[in-house]
Amino acid sequence: MSYIGMEKNIQQINKGLNVNSGGLYLNYGKDCELGMNEEMLKVFVDRGVIILTASDAHSPNDVGANIQELQNIIYSLKK
């Protein structure tokens, strides 16, 4: 699947992407991908789309869960 071109729509309306560190990863374990599909995320990172991280917490204990790990993934894609 090609994600190239989607970033133009996001940038035209001056928005960023919310990449979630919770969701499936938090609820179903480390067998699920953390955050957005890395291939899609790489396209957005390479093209300068603003990336925002969030933990999608549904309980106080989950606030900030996996944020550092997700940020590390994003930073590794910038290389």
pLDDT at position 71 is 93
Q: Is the CB of residue 33 less than 8 Å from the CB of residue 25?
A: yes
pLDDT at position 12 is 77
Higher pLDDT, 9 or 76: 76
pLDDT tens column, 46-71: 988 999 999 888 889 889 988 999 99
- Taking the model in full, what pTM does it have? 0.78
Ranges assigned E (strand) in the chain? 17-20, 51-54
The backbone torsions φ and ψ at residue 58, rounded to the nearest 5 degrees and listed phi first, read -110, 0
Distance CA 71, CA 51 (A): 10
Confidence of residue 36 (pLDDT cuts 50, 70, 90): confident
Give the number of other CB atoms < 10 A from CB of residue 72: 11
C-alpha distances in Å from residue 49, one per residue of 9, 16, 28, 74: 10, 6, 28, 12
pLDDT at position 1 is 56
